[in-house]
């Protein structure tokens, strides 16, 4: 981004987007999570001829909810802005072929740049930005973080290619992932847990304060269940949570065992 350009970020975007924006020269503004009215207020205050770039997570990493991409596309059209979607958690997961958030909404042509990491569904390291050839060419010659760091090792690239083949050839894995996700979400809700607005295999179980969340985490860990303990600054104060990441290789028995443990620990700790 140039000095006269403007960048608009969802407040709950991943830290790497915030850091990326810090490296850019443009003016950065953050809008309340998925709040299209707030984004529009920011867009309309920017001069019509300035470059405008809206960057959002596709699937939010600590909430498990989706970006309002249709709303963002509508505003981008109205204010002549470009869109980048970070699909770290959506690639391989959302959309009929697993191509991510834009495919899920049928908005692939309207989403200017899609970025994903190779560290989630693709089981490797590194990442990719996909978009029009001229933009990718520009990035290759201007993105300092790309130019001045080492390329991916062939072994990591081969892993990505292998994972892509599996995503393409074995859609049943994605179906199993969604089956597991639906069972887990339903079970947790029936037990009385707050899973926020999750609509994906990322399921936050909001506990609230730090200490009970850590005790809960340890109880689950001792019962053989791994969750991610999520604390500020990754989430707001008093909103500490356990993050469950569902996998295609989980079975119904796994899901039942996790729900049993959540029932036992939650009742013992008077969380539910």
Ligand X SMILES: Cc1ncc(COP(=O)(O)O)c(C=O)c1O
Among 101, 117, 185, 200, binds ligand X (CB under 6 A): 117
β-sheet with 27-31: strand ranges across: 27-31, 6-10, 52-57, 82-86, 113-117, 127-130
Given the residues 120, 179, 245, 254, the one annotated as active site: 120
Burial class (CB in 10 A: 0-12, 13-18, 19+), 212: middle
Report whether 53 contacts 85 (CB < 8 A). no
Piece of 3-11, 85-93, 152-160, 257-265 that binds ligand X (CB under 6 A): 85-93
Identify residues 182-241 at the interface with ligand X (CB under 6 A): none
Output 120 or 173, the one with its CB closest to ligand X.
Answer: 120
Q: Which is nearer to ligand X, 134 or 155 (CB)?
A: 155
Using alpha carbons only, give the angle 134, 132, 66 rounded to the nearest 5 degrees.
Answer: 140
> Among candidates 98, 109, 102, 113, which has minimal Cα distance to 55?
113
Among 127, 131, 187, 212, binds ligand X (CB under 6 A): 127
**Per the residue annotation, which of 89, 104, 124, 250 is the catalytic one?**
89
Cβ 14 to ligand X, closest distance in Å?
A: 3
Residue 6 near ligand X by CB under 6 A: no
4 is catalytic: no
Q: Check if 140 is active-site.
A: no
**Residue 14, interface with ligand X (CB under 6 A)?**
yes
Does residue 63 bind ligand X (CB under 6 A)?
Answer: no
Question: C-alpha angle 97/100/101, rounded to 5°?
Answer: 130
Q: Which of 8, 34, 52, 61 binds ligand X (CB under 6 A)?
A: 61
Q: How far apart are CA 137 and CA 131, in angstroms?
A: 10
Which are the contacts of 89, defined by CB distance < 8 A and separation ≥ 6?
A: 57, 58, 59, 60, 61, 120, 200, 202
Annotation says 186 is catalytic = no
Interacting residue ranges for ligand X, rule: CB under 6 A = 14, 16, 57, 61, 86, 88-89, 117, 119, 127
Q: Which residues are catalytic?
A: 61, 89, 120
């Amino acid at each position: 981004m140039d000095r006269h350009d403007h960048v608009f970020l969802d407040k709950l975007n991943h830290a790497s987007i915030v850091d990326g924006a810090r490296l850019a020269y443009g003016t950065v503004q953050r809008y309340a999570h998925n709040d299209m009215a707030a984004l529009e207020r920011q867009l309309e205050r920017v001069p019509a001829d300035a470059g405008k770039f809206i960057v959002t997570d596709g699937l939010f990493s600590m909430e498990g909810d989706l970006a309002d991409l249709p709303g963002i596309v509508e505003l981008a059209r109205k204010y002549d802005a470009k869109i980048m979607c970070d699909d770290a958690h959506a690639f391989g997961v959302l959309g009929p072929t697993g191509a991510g958030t834009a495919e899920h909404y049928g908005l692939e042509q309207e989403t200017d740049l899609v970025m994903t990491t190779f560290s989630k569904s693709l089981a490797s390291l590194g990442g990719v930005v996909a978009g029009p050839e001229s933009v990718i060419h520009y990035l290759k010659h201007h993105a300092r973080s790309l130019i001045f760091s080492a390329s991916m090792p062939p072994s990591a690239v081969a892993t990505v290619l292998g994972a892509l083949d599996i995503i393409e050839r074995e859609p049943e894995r994605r179906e199993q992932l969604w089956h597991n996700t639906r069972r887990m979400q339903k079970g947790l809700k029936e037990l009385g847990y707050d899973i926020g607005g999750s609509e994906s295999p990322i399921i936050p179980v909001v506990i609230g304060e730090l200490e009970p969340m850590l005790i809960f985490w340890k109880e689950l860990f001792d019962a053989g269940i791994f969750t991610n303990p999520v604390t500020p600054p990754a989430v707001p104060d008093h909103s500490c949570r356990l993050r469950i990441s569902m996998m295609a290789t989980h079975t119904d028995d796994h899901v039942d065992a996790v729900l049993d443990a959540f029932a036992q620990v939650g009742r013992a700790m008077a969380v539910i």
